[in-house]
Structure 1
């Protein structure tokens, strides 16, 4: 992720883009924690709801890999496919970690 490219894509200033990205990271990390808790409880409704929220936020920011992973989790929750849900969660965690590193370098 290049912050300047993302800012250009969203037609906003780089500082605004950093704020949005930090907000996305914070919110998505919290939602992913709730999703992981729901996996332990096999609460497919909450899994689907959290994945849907992450998916929507990611698409707005043009984060296609996170969007696609969340979409797969959402579908897998409807079909009770926990292994696929776990794979998606790992991928999103990895991407969020990478985003956090990028943002840390911008401060």
Structure 2
């Protein structure tokens, strides 16, 4: 993620984008827990709820692939398509974990 380019694209200060990214990585564990619980219990409503939150924050940060995958989980959840969720939820969980790690690393690199 290029904080400077994203800030310019959104017409914001780069530090504001970094703050949004920090908030994203701080709230992600809660959403990951919800997604994991939804997958384990096959709770389509919970999956859609958590994925909707991820979709919004991912879109704000320009994480288009994560947002698209979250939108797929939202759709699968709203349609109560448990078989599709069995495929899409683990993918979203993995992508979100990797995304959080990448952003956290980039923030740490900025602070050095």
| TM-score, structure 1 as length reference | 0.88
Verify the 8 A CA contact 1:10 1:61 in the aligned structure 2: no
Cα distance in structure 2, aligned partners of 1:32 and 1:61: 18
Counterparts of 1:66-105 in structure 2 under 5 Å? 66-77=66-77, 78=79, 79-80=81-82, 81=84, 82-105=86-109
- Per the alignment, in what secondary structure is the counterpart of residue 12 of structure 1? coil
Verify the 8 A CA contact 1:72 1:85 in the aligned structure 2: no
**Larger RCO: 1 or 2 (CA < 8 Å, sep 6+):** 2
Cα distance in structure 1, aligned partners of 2:54 and 2:63: 10
Q: Superposition RMSD on alpha carbons, in Å? A: 1.4
Counterparts of 1:54-69 in structure 2 under 5 Å? 54-69=54-69
Quote the offset at 1:90 in angstroms. 1.1
Runs of 4+ aligned structure 1 residues displaced above 6 Å come to none
Verify the 8 A CA contact 1:69 1:92 in the aligned structure 2: no
Verify the 8 A CA contact 1:76 1:85 in the aligned structure 2: no
Quote the offset at 1:62 in angstroms. 1.9
Quote the offset at 1:26 in angstroms. 1.3
- Per the alignment, in what secondary structure is the counterpart of residue 12 of structure 2? coil
| TM-score, structure 2 as length reference | 0.85
Verify the 8 A CA contact 2:44 2:76 in the aligned structure 1: no
Verify the 8 A CA contact 2:35 2:46 in the aligned structure 1: yes
Quote the offset at 1:46 in angstroms. 0.5
- Per the alignment, in what secondary structure is the counterpart of residue 93 of structure 1? helix
